A and B are shown apart, each in its own frame.
Chain A
Amino acid sequence: MERARRPKLAVWKFASCDGCQLSLLDCEDELLEVAGEIEIAHFLEATRATIQGPYDLSLVEGSVTTAHDAARIQEIRKQSRFLVTIGACATAGGIQALRNFADVREYTAIVYARPDYIQTLATSTAIGDHVKVDFELRGCPISTRQLIEVISAFLAGRKPQTPPHSVCVECKIAGNLCVMVGHGTPCLGPVTHAGCGAVCPAYNRGCYGCYGPMETPNTPSLSAGLSKLGMDDDALKRIYRTFNANADAFRKESERHDR
């Protein structure tokens, strides 16, 4: 089908490790198709050449940790017709949101010789805490399969298929043995958003919760089950405090065990 104009794509980075935007470059088989259907207008990880906005689709990676970034996301929102956040940093604040549970000045004093050079906010927050977000793609990192699905859905003007149910559904569809019931291995799968394809349980590891809370997470009940498997309060606090530590359900549950 002829398009009058290819939609313009921009990829933006905030506080993050770059892994999620690299997922776009990792779409090896589909990358040429992506470039054929979309004009890659701003993607510094791929090319220095940039085309001015406005942009039809902005993929935003990373969290807001500085005053400068808090202002920059407002400008990007204005320049973007459709804004999609990608990855746990952008959707929940990332691992760097551990600062939200501590005193950031204390951290900088330990890490930097001249902490007074560091200008940073006291918290790491999701992009959605600052501007309206049209769609959030979860994961640490995001799945290339789901990224292609989101872009395909955007191009077709349809809803992306990224089910918000538990990882357990992915395990059962894949035929994985439940590691929690079958091996007694602590697993966050029952409270975690699907999308990774249940990678860890497929290799007999419990789910680490990389995709953040599922649609209706019952974290207190899972914690009760995990404590029967031998996890104490400190272990429970830590298991929820990883890449999605500041996601609402995980934050509240970790705080419940912070005593």
Chain B
Amino acid sequence: MAKADEAAAVITVEGLQDLLRAIRARGYRAIGPTLQNQAIVYDDIESIDDLPRGWTDEQDGGLYRLTRREDEALFGYSVGPQSWKKFLHEPRLRLWTAERRGEDTSVTPEAPPSDRLAFIGVRACEIRAIEIQDRVLVGDLYVDPHYKARREGALIVALNCGKAGGTCFCVSMHAGPRVKHGFDIALTELLDGTEHVFLVETGSDEGRAILEQIPHDLASSREVDAAEAVIAQTASSMGRQMRSDDLNELLMNNLEHPRWNEVATRCLTCANCTLVCPTCFCTSVEDASDLTGERAERWRRWDSCFTMDFSYIHGGSVRASTKSRYRQWMTHKLATWIDQFGSSGCVGCGRCITWCPVGIDITEEVCAIRGCDASAEESV
């Protein structure tokens, strides 16, 4: 997948239906935004009727509410509770099964998944997050075969954001809102009083082949300008901001800042922030044997640097205090990730802020360590 490389096309809402049909006809399992239990959740979709037409969300620290839009936008919300991580880096995964028959023991590894997923409506921050997980899970000495299989088979239909959420700060992390690379097809939803169309860019041969299968027009310069205006409007209405050019030095020079003690009085160590984070990748393995001792399984599941078991070594947990665990998470995400993987681990999606039950705000914590007040940070 590469950068958008040719003149943009335009499709209608019916054209989007055709696009979904074409994608599914090519053997992909289409996953996209759906309305479930008062939230916008990525799940299997069959047609555009499954999309959250006319819905948007209100987000703030520890708060997420759906509200109606005044229009019929299909992608008029910002990022929801879960990222694409739940499909690429699954929450629970059996790694192998072992069986004993008499003197013989056989171990059968779990085969990597063979299904091909099409992700519909992937935001720029989420593409950046997938690239960050690529670096960790396939871009180094040890490759995760399960992630790799899903990732290589995946089709990405990206979306240039038409709405910044209340906790979004992708602009600060240089991760959005414009989708620049890493997609097969990129959409920008254009709505004015009379017209509802999608600007379509392609970023791969697969994306071009799919576009060729459906009715489309060449985009007019007016439509290209309208898409630019949508992205510019989103970029200028971020719910949060955070200066990010000096975070490695700032945080590593402030490891004993009193703010760590203060945030520890609020942090629940519940692990929600890490589990909703689209780049957090930590897991634990659990071995289970059955009653007879004839069969055993090894499972991998999401874990978090906020649990005590995660840093347990002989004699106890390395990070016993809440302060040390919050500090570990934030300094890794924003600072030492750069040393380890060559980029920040944060994409500015804001999920850790929204889904913290007590609304701890990473941008506010950075601001406090920097010694600025929130209003000063906003002007950076």
Chain A interface (Cβ within 8 Å of chain B)? Answer: 1, 30, 33-34, 36-37, 148-149, 151-153, 155-156, 158, 161, 163-166, 168-169, 172-175, 177-178, 180-184, 187, 189-191, 204, 214-216, 218, 220-222, 224-225
Contacts and interface: CB of A to CB of B under 8 A. Distances in A.
A189 B270 contact: yes
B268 A182 contact: no
A224 to B, nearest CB: 7
B267 A155 contact: no
Given A169-B271, A181-B355, A182-B38, A163 B309 contact: yes
Contacts of A204: 37
Interface of B: 36-39, 41, 62-65, 81-82, 86, 91-92, 100, 265-272, 275-276, 286-294, 301-304, 306-309, 322, 354-359
Contacts of B37: 177, 182, 204
Contact of B62 (A166, A181, A220): A181
24 contacts: A1-B293, A34-B291, A148-B291, A152-B288, A152-B291, A155-B291, A155-B293, A156-B289, A161-B287, A164-B308, A166-B269, A168-B272, A172-B275, A172-B276, A177-B38, A177-B41, A180-B357, A181-B355, A182-B65, A190-B357, A214-B270, A218-B266, A221-B268, A222-B268
Contacts of B322: 216, 218
A156 B287 CA distance: 12
Nearest to B354: A181
Which 6 A-B residue pairings sit nearest by Cβ, starting from the closest?
A172-B275, A190-B270, A166-B270, A165-B307, A190-B268, A168-B270
B291 A172 contact: no
A184 B359 CA distance: 13
Given A151-B291, A180-B357, A173 B301 contact: yes
A41 B16 CA distance: 67
Given A181-B355, A225-B62, A172 B272 contact: yes
B267 A221 contact: yes
Contact of A169 (B81, B286, B302, B357): B302
Contacts of A184: 63
Contacts of A224: 266, 358
Given A169-B275, A177-B39, A190-B268, A161 B286 contact: yes
A173 to B, nearest CB: 4
B102 to A, nearest CB: 9
Q: Which of B39, B65, B276, B307 has the most CB of A within 10 A?
A: B307
B209 to A, nearest CB: 33
A218 B307 contact: no
Contacts of B294: 1
Given A156-B289, A191-B268, A191-B270, 18 more contacts: A36-B292, A37-B291, A152-B288, A152-B290, A158-B287, A169-B270, A172-B271, A175-B82, A177-B36, A177-B37, A178-B357, A181-B64, A181-B354, A204-B37, A214-B270, A218-B269, A221-B266, A224-B266
A49 to B, nearest CB: 22
A152 B359 CA distance: 40
Nearest to B294: A1
A169 B307 contact: yes
Contacts of B266: 218, 221, 224
A6 to B, nearest CB: 12
Contacts of A34: 291
Nearest to B57: A182
Given A166-B270, A177-B36, A177-B39, A215 B291 contact: no
Contacts of B36: 177
A187 B309 contact: no
Contact of B81 (A155, A168, A182): A182
A202 B354 CA distance: 20
Q: Which of B301, B357, B359 has the most CB of A within 10 A?
A: B357
Nearest to B284: A163
Contacts of A225: 62, 357-359
A131 to B, nearest CB: 25
Contact of A215 (B63, B82, B308): B308
A37 B272 CA distance: 40
Given A165-B271, A182-B64, A225-B357, A177 B291 contact: no
Nearest to A168: B270
Given A181-B62, A215-B307, A216-B322, A221 B265 contact: yes
Nearest to B37: A177
A190 B289 contact: no
Contacts of B92: 173
A257 B246 CA distance: 43
B291 A178 contact: no
A25 to B, nearest CB: 15
Nearest to B290: A152
Given A168-B270, A222-B358, A158 B289 contact: yes
B292 A33 contact: yes
Given A172-B276, A177-B36, A218 B267 contact: yes
Q: Which of A33, A163, A169, A224 has the most CB of B within 10 A?
A: A169
Contacts of A177: 36-39, 41, 81
A168 B275 contact: yes
Contacts of A161: 286-288
